[in-house]
Structure 1
Amino acid sequence: LASSALGGFAFSAAFSAPSVPLKRCEGKDEQPQSPVPSPAPCPLFPASPACGRAACKPDDELLLAAAAAADPSPVRGFSEAAGSIWIYPTNLPVRPYQERMAGAALLANTLVCLPTGLGKTFVAAVVMYNFYRWFPSGKVLFLAPTKPLVAQQMEACGRVMGIPARDMAEMTGGTQALGRRELWNTKRVFFLTPQIMVNDLCRGTCPAMDIKCLVIDEAHKALGNHAYCQVGLESPPSSLPLLCFCASLQAVQQVISNLLIAQIEVCAEDSPEIQPYSHERLVEKIVVPLGEELVEIQNTYIKVLEAFTGRLMRVGVLSRRDIPNLTKYQIILARDQYRKNPSAVLGWRRIAFTEHCGV
C-alpha cells in the first residue's frame, strides 16, 4: 500500500480541502512527510492586504470570506492519527487517473465521469476504505440503483481494500425493516439502494449524523424527485462528503446542484490518460425467446388489446394491424393526428364515439 500525507488536514463542518496539498510517500513502512508549505503568492497579482492572497475578483473574495468564517473544529469521530495519511493500494497496477480521482474525492464533494469498465468501482473502494479508517465509529455508505451494482461494490471493497466482512452489510428490498435497524446499529460499511436509505432516514432508523462518507453510483439519475435527490434533502449535507459516479455527463448542472458537487473529474472515451487501459468492445446481441409461461401471458394481453384496437382499426383511426408490435408512441401519434383533423378520418356523427373509445 502507498500512503500519502495529509499534513495539517482538519475536517470542518463544511467539507472542504485541507490547507496543504496531498503528498504521496511510497511504501507502507515510511513515515508521512512533513506538510508542504503554502505556495508563494502568484507573481501575476499583487498581494492584497485584505485577504493576504492575490487581488481577488468579487466572487473570489466571497469564497475566501466564507472559508475564513468556516468552523475549523474537527468533525466528531475523526481520528487524527489515522487521518494524517491516506492509503492507496499498489499491489495492483497504479493508474494515474484513478489515483488522482481518489485523492480529489477525499477533499471535496466530487463527481467522477469515467467510461464503463475503467475502474469506477476501484476508486469507490479506495475512498470508502480511507473514510472507514479515518472515522473508527462512523458509517460509510454506497448507493446504487440495482442489486447487482450493490453486490459488485461490496465484493470489491473486501477484495481490493480488505474491509472486514464483519463490518459490511448489504441492504436491498428483501431486507426487512427490523433487520435493517439491527444492521444500522452493528455494521459500519453499507451497500444499499437509495430508496432503502430514504425510507430509513424518514423512519429515523438510519443514524444520519454518523454517516461520514456517501458514494453514489449512476449519479446521472439524480434528477427531479429521484431517491438520490431525496437522500440529499434528508441527510445533513454540511458534514457529508460525497463521491458520485456517472459514465457520461447528462443534465450535469442539475446533478451538480442536487448533489452539492464541488469538483468534477472527467475522462472521456478519447482521453489520452485512459488509452493504455481502454480496449475495443465487442457487442454481441443475443435474442432470448420467451418461455411458455410468458407466451401465454402475452397472448392473453393481446386478446385484451384486440377489443379496443380492433374497433379503432375498423373506423380508420389506427392503420397498423400488427398488435403485438404496436407501441404506445404509435397510439399517441394516431390520437394526435385524429384530434387535429377528425373529419378527414371519420364522418362527424362518429367523432364523439371514437373519442369515447379511448384514442
Structure 2
Amino acid sequence: MKESLFPEKPECMKHPLIKPDTVEQRLYQLNLAGEALKGSSLVVLPTGLGKTIIALFVIASRLQRFGGKALILSPTKPLVEQHAAFFKKVMALPEEEVLAFTGSISPAERERLWEQGKLIVSTPQVIENDILTRRISLENVSHITFDEAHRAVGNYAYTFIAEKYFESAKNPHVLGITASPGSSDEKISEVCEALHVQNVAVKTEKDRDVRPYVQEKEIEWLQVNLPAEMAEIRSYLEKIFDDRLAIIRNLGFSAGSGKYVSKKDLLLLQKKLQGEIRVGGDPAVFSAMSVVAEMMKVNHAVEMVETQGIEALRKYLEKLDAEASSSKASKAAKRLMDDLYMRKTLYRAKECEVEHPKLELARRIVCEQLEGNPDSRVIVFTNYRDSAEMVVNALSRVSGVNPVRFVGQGSRHKDKGLTQKQQVEILERFRAGEYNALVATSVAEEGLDIPATDLVLFYEPVPSEIRSIQRKGRTGRQHKGRVTVLVTKGTRDEAYYWSSKNKEKRMLNSMHGLEAVLGPKNVKKSSELSDFDSVSFISDSKPESKQNTKLDSYPEFQGIESESMDKIESGSLENTEDFPITDFGDPGKTEGKNGKDSEIISHTKDIKLQKNSDEIGKKEENEKDYANIKEKQKTLVDFGTASGESSDSLLKIIIDHRETKSGVAKTLDRLGMELRFMALEIGDYIVSDRLAVERKRTDDFACSLIDGKRNLFAQLSDLARVYEKPVLIIEGEDLFTSRQINPNAIYGSLASIAIDFGVSILYSRDEEETASILKILAKREQTENKREINPHGKKSASTLAEQQEYLISSISNIGPKAARNLLSYFGSVEAVMRADIEELKKVKQIGPKTAARIREVLESPYKG
C-alpha cells in the first residue's frame, strides 16, 4: 500500500504559480490545503510536517483566482527572512514581487514597495503600524497567512490586522497555521474568533496519511537528585518563605488553598491586595503587599536552586544584595536581605562548590551525541539567560563541542541581548556546522527551520503545552530525532512536567471537539483527497467527472490519481491516547513570549464544545457566568462607539510615533478617529491647539518618581509651558502597588503636578479607556469649542550646545548622535550649513542619502 501511495520518487506540485520540480506532493498537505480553500481556516499540524507548504498551495490558488496581493505574517525577523527565501525559491513570481518587510526598512520605503509587491512576508508589528498610519491598504489583499496563529489573542498585532482586513478587503481569506493552538477550549476559540476562522482542520502524527512522513522521535526524561548542599540552602529559603506566609496570615490574608503556595497563588493574592488598596485599604494591606514582594523573590530563589544550580542562584542573590544596598532600595528588599536565614543562604551559595547534577548530565548527553555522530546538531533549551551562559561555559570545556548562546534582543542586568542580525548569523553558522550545540532560551522555540537537529535537550521542563510542543518540534524533521528532559526529583520540575503533559492531552481533546464543530460541513470524508481532484493537485491523468467537489472554483489545480486517494482513510482524528506527549514546564520570566500560561476566558458565543468531565464542565459554567457579567458592564469604549458620531465632523488626533506600540492608537482607530503620527517633542497626544496629553502607565509613573533619568516633572513642565490645557493620564490600577513607594510620596507628587504645574490629572483602567478619554477630549475641543488641532512647542534647551544640536537634528534623518558628529567636525551650525555633499559625507554616520537630504532642505525654495 505504501508503495502505491508514497512512491520512492515523489511527484512534485504542478501549478502556474509554483516553479516546476520544487515542491514535493504530499497527500495530507493537499488535503489540508483543500479544506483551507473552502473558507478562512485554522490548520493544526505537528511541527516539521510542512505547514508552510500548505500556505503555499493556498496562496497560489487565491492569487490565481482573485489576483491582488497575498500577505504572510510571522512573529520574528529571522522567521520572516526564512519564509521570504523559501517563497522566492518556489513561487513563479518575479523576485522583486516577493518582498520581506521588517522594522529595518523605513516606512517610506515600505509604502513604495507595497505597491509593487505581489507576495509580502512581514512581521505583524510592521503591518499594524502601516495600517494605523494609512501607508498601506488591505483592500486588494486576497489572502493572509498567520504563522504561529496561537499568538492571535489579547492585544497581539494579529487580532488588529485580522479585524481591519475583514473590514476593508474585497475578497478576504485567512489561513492560520500552528502546531499548538492551546490546551483549553477557551484559548482555541479565542484564536478562531480573532482570525474570523470558519473551518478547523487537524492532522496528527497518528493519521495514516501523515504517518509515512513522520520520523521516529525518541522521548525520555531523566531524573536527578538534588545534592544535600543545595537541599540545605533550599531549607533556609523555605524557612524565610514560611515565616512571611505566617505574617500574611496574621494580617488576615491567605495565599493558596493547600499546603504548597505557588507563584500563581502569590500573583492572585497580590492582585487582590491591589484591589483593596484602590478602595481605601487599611495599613495592613500595604504591609501585606510588601511581604508578598519578599515571598515572590524567595520563591524565585527556591526555583533557581532546585532547577538551575548554584551559579544561577548566586547571581540572583548578588543582584538582590546590590539592590538592597542601593539608595533606592525598597523596604522589602532591605528587610529580606537583612534576614538571618537569607544571609546564611548568601554565604552558603558563595562557598558551595557543588554543581547541579543537571549540568554534568547535560554535558555528558551532548558529548555522547556528538562523539557518536560528529555531524550532529544539538539544541539545549533553558528558561534563563544565566543558565544558558552556564551551560555554554560547561560545554565549551568539552572537546568536539562548539556551543553558542542564542537569546532574545532585550537587554537585561549586565547582559546585552542579540540583535536580529546576530540571531540570523548564529543560525546560519549553526546550520553550516560551525557551531554544533545551540544553547537557547525560548526565542528559538517557534518556527525556525533547523532541519538537521538530532537532539533537543530540555535543561528543565516547562509548564506550557505550546512551548513544550514547539521545543520538541525542533528535532525529528528529516531523520530520527531524540528529546531528553532533565528533571530534579521532588521539585517543581516534576510538577511542570506533568502540567505540560496534561495540557497537551487536553489540547488534543479540545481540537477533536473544535474540528467537529467548525470542520467542513456536509462532507462525509473530509480528508479524502479525491475531493480535490478538480483542484490543481498534480498528475497528468484527468479525474473522473463524478469526483468533482465544492472546490471546482479552483480549476488551476490539475487533479491527483483518484485510486490512490480512495485508499486514504481519515476524516476524523484517530485515538490519541498513545500519542507521545512529553513536556516540561517553565517558571517565571522567560524569553520572547507575549502570551501567558494562565487560561484566558473567551467570549465566543457560537462555539459550544462538549467537556471531557463534569468537573471541567462545571468550571466552564462558572467562567461563562463571569463572562456574561463582564459583557453586561458598559465601558467608555461602548459608549463611544454607540454615540453615533457624525462622519461630517471627523475627530482628529496627532499621536507621537512611539505610541504606535501601545493599544491606544488601535482603539482610537476602531473609534473612528482620524490618526496622524508625528515625532512629538512634547506630549504623547495632541487634540487641539491648546490641549495636549502626556500618558503614563502606573509603573512608569512610579518609576519616574525614583529614577532621575526619567524626569517626569521636566516633561510636565514643558507640557504646561507650551499648552494652555495640559493633561496627564495615569493608566492602570496599581498606582500604589507597582513599586514599593510610600503612598504619601505618591499623593504628594500628584498634588504638586496639579497645583504647582497646573496639569489636569485623569485616570484610566487600561489602554481602551485611555482612548475613550482622548476621544471625549477631542470632541470637546474640536466639535464643541471649534478648536483647530495644531502641534507646537519644543523641549526647553538649557544650554547653547543643546540648542545647536537641536537645530541640526531638526533636519530629516539626522539624529542626536549624527548632529553632534556634524558639529564636532565642522565646529559650528553655520559651517554645517555651508558644507557641500562631499564634505558632509566625510562625517561619521552621514551617508550619501543623508548628505543629499541636508543640502535639499537648505537649498530648495520654500513653497509653503
Within a 5 Å distance, the mapping from 1:89-238 to structure 2 comes to 92-136=23-67, 138-237=68-167
Q: Please state how far the C-alpha of 1:315 moved relative to its aligned partner.
A: 3.1
Greater fraction helix: 2
Q: Please state how far the C-alpha of 1:211 moved relative to its aligned partner.
A: 0.9
Decide which of 320, 323, 338 is 1:305's aligned counterpart.
323
Q: For the Cα contact (< 8 Å) 1:129–1:157, is it kept in 2?
A: no
Question: CA separation of 1:266/1:27 partners in 2, compared to 1, >3 Å: closer, same or farther?
Answer: closer
Question: CA separation of 1:276/1:177 partners in 2, compared to 1, >3 Å: closer, same or farther?
Answer: same
Question: CA separation of 1:356/1:195 partners in 2, compared to 1, >3 Å: closer, same or farther?
Answer: closer
Q: In the alignment, does 2:178 pair up with 1:249? A: no
Match for residue 339 of structure 1?
A: none
Match for residue 343 of structure 1?
A: none
Q: For the Cα contact (< 8 Å) 1:132–1:189, is it kept in 2?
A: no
- Separation (CA, whole Å) in 2 of partners of 1:91 and 1:311: 65
Question: CA separation of 1:357/1:312 partners in 2, compared to 1, >3 Å: closer, same or farther?
Answer: farther
- Separation (CA, whole Å) in 2 of partners of 1:254 and 1:316: 48
- What TM-score results when the alignment is normalised by the length of structure 2? 0.25
- Separation (CA, whole Å) in 2 of partners of 1:100 and 1:278: 17
Q: Deviations over 1:200-252 (max 9, x none)?
A: 11111112111111011010011111110111222235731001101123121
Question: CA separation of 1:157/1:116 partners in 2, compared to 1, >3 Å: closer, same or farther?
Answer: same
Structure 2 counterpart SS, 1:245: strand
Structure 2 counterpart SS, 1:273: coil
Cα RMSD over matched residues?
A: 3.6
Q: For the Cα contact (< 8 Å) 1:114–1:266, is it kept in 2?
A: yes
Which residues of structure 2 form unaligned runs of 5+? 1-11, 220-314, 351-385, 388-586, 590-738, 743-864
- Separation (CA, whole Å) in 2 of partners of 1:328 and 1:93: 42
Greater relative contact order, per chain length (Cα 8 Å cut-off, separation 6+): 1
Question: CA separation of 1:299/1:281 partners in 2, compared to 1, >3 Å: closer, same or farther?
Answer: same
Match for residue 314 of structure 1?
A: 338
- What TM-score results when the alignment is normalised by the length of structure 1? 0.58
Q: Please state how far the C-alpha of 1:282 moved relative to its aligned partner.
A: 6.9
- Separation (CA, whole Å) in 2 of partners of 1:249 and 1:216: 12
Q: For the Cα contact (< 8 Å) 1:143–1:192, is it kept in 2?
A: yes
Within a 5 Å distance, the mapping from 1:29-48 to structure 2 comes to none
- Separation (CA, whole Å) in 2 of partners of 1:280 and 1:328: 32
- Separation (CA, whole Å) in 2 of partners of 1:313 and 1:328: 21
- Separation (CA, whole Å) in 1 of partners of 2:19 and 2:61: 9
- Separation (CA, whole Å) in 2 of partners of 1:178 and 1:134: 30
Which amino acid is the alignment partner of residue 126 of structure 1? F
Which residues of structure 1 form unaligned runs of 5+? 1-25, 30-81, 284-296, 330-354
Identity of aligned residues (%): 29
Structure 1 counterpart SS, 2:210: helix
Structure 1 counterpart SS, 2:163: helix
Q: Which has the larger radius of gyration?
A: 2
Match for residue 276 of structure 1?
A: 212
Within a 5 Å distance, the mapping from 1:57-76 to structure 2 comes to none
Which amino acid is the alignment partner of residue 96 of structure 2? R
Q: For the Cα contact (< 8 Å) 1:122–1:160, is it kept in 2?
A: no
Q: For the Cα contact (< 8 Å) 1:198–1:234, is it kept in 2?
A: no
- Separation (CA, whole Å) in 2 of partners of 1:356 and 1:178: 44
Q: Please state how far the C-alpha of 1:175 moved relative to its aligned partner.
A: 1.1
Q: Which runs of 4+ in 1 moved over 6 A?
A: 26-29, 86-90, 297-300
Question: CA separation of 1:139/1:217 partners in 2, compared to 1, >3 Å: closer, same or farther?
Answer: same
Q: For the Cα contact (< 8 Å) 1:88–1:99, is it kept in 2?
A: no
Q: Deviations over 1:39-64 (max 9, x none)?
A: xxxxxxxxxxxxxxxxxxxxxxxxxx
Q: Please state how far the C-alpha of 1:313 moved relative to its aligned partner.
A: 2.8
Q: For the Cα contact (< 8 Å) 1:122–1:156, is it kept in 2?
A: no
